């Protein structure tokens, strides 16, 4: 069915069986994002070591887009520095909200998996579902 372009295999699979669900032991930072509109809630636990994200797990209640986005985010930021991850958060949000030109200029920093959310740009009411984990990430990393 033609919704494949939005709900592609990776999004559907990750939403049904996330690879990074759980709670990090000895987490150094926590973050939470909620969308009161739909009740989605993302909880992040992060262990950083010398400004590098060693491990990040999530407990997410929400729609497929939200769960998949959180899971793919976890994958994308693990191993990055805090500064790098925050950069990516801004780029991701920018890509969806402002349709930044990044799409065309294959930005090296933007993992392909995250580009799976591009079709959301024509479903603006769902943008929050994809950006919610990144808001939670900002909360976790900004407040230390």
Partner 1 sequence: MSVSGSEIISADLSGLRAQFPILSQKVHGKPLVFLDSAASAQKPDVVIDGMARMMRSQYANIHRGLHWMSERSTEAYEAARTRIAEFLGAEFREEIVFTHNSTEAINLVAYSYGSLINPGQAVLISEMEHHANLVPWQMLRDRAGIELRVAPITDSGDLDLDAYGELLADGKVALVAITHMSNVLGTITPAHRLIEMAHAVGAKILLDGSQAVVHRRVNVRELDADFYTFTGHKLYGPTGIGILWARRELLDAMPPFMGGGDMISSVTFEKSTWAPIPAKFEAGTPAIVEAVGLGIAIDWVEAIGFDAIAAHEAALTKHALNVLSEVPGLSVVGQPRHRGGVISFTMDDVHPHDIATLLDRNGIAVRAGHHCAEPLMRRLGLTATARASFAVYTTEHEIDVLASTLRRIRQFFV
Question: Residues interacting with partner 1, by CB under 8 A?
Answer: 1-3, 6-7, 12, 16, 36-39, 61-65, 123-126, 129
Nearer to partner 1, 90 or 123 (CB): 123
Nearer to partner 1, 12 or 118 (CB): 12
Answer yes or no: are the C-beta atoms of 134 and 95 closer than 8 Å.
no
Nearer to partner 1, 40 or 88 (CB): 40
Helix (H, G, I), strand (E, B) or coil at 36: coil
CB 123 → partner 1: shortest distance, Å? 6
**Tokens describing residue 47:** 């262990």
CB 78 → partner 1: shortest distance, Å? 25
Nearer to partner 1, 67 or 89 (CB): 67
Reference 138, options 92, 94, 103, 89; nearest CA is 89
CB 5 → partner 1: shortest distance, Å? 9
Residue 107 to residues 49, 57, 71, 101, 104: CA-CA distances in angstroms? 27, 26, 21, 9, 8
**Tokens describing residue 48:** 């950083």
CB 54 → partner 1: shortest distance, Å? 31
Nearer to partner 1, 6 or 86 (CB): 6
CA end-to-end distance (rounded Å), the chain:
45
CB 1 → partner 1: shortest distance, Å? 6
Backbone angles phi, psi at 54, to 5 degrees: -80, -40
């Amino acid at each position: 069915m033609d919704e494949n372009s939005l709900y592609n295999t990776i999004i559907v699979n990750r939403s049904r069986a996330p690879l990074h669900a759980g709670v990090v032991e000895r987490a150094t930072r926590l973050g939470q994002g909620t969308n009161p509109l739909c009740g989605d809630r993302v909880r992040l636990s992060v262990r950083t070591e010398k400004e590098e994200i060693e491990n990040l797990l999530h407990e997410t209640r929400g729609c497929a887009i939200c769960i998949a986005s959180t899971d793919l985010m976890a994958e994308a930021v693990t191993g990055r520095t805090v500064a790098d991850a925050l950069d990516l958060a801004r780029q991701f949000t920018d890509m969806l909200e402002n349709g930044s030109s990044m799409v065309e200029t294959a930005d090296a920093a933007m993992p392909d998996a995250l580009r799976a959310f591009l079709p959301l740009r024509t479903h603006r009411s769902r943008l929050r579902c994809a950006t919610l984990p990144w808001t939670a990430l900002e909360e976790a990393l900004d407040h230390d």
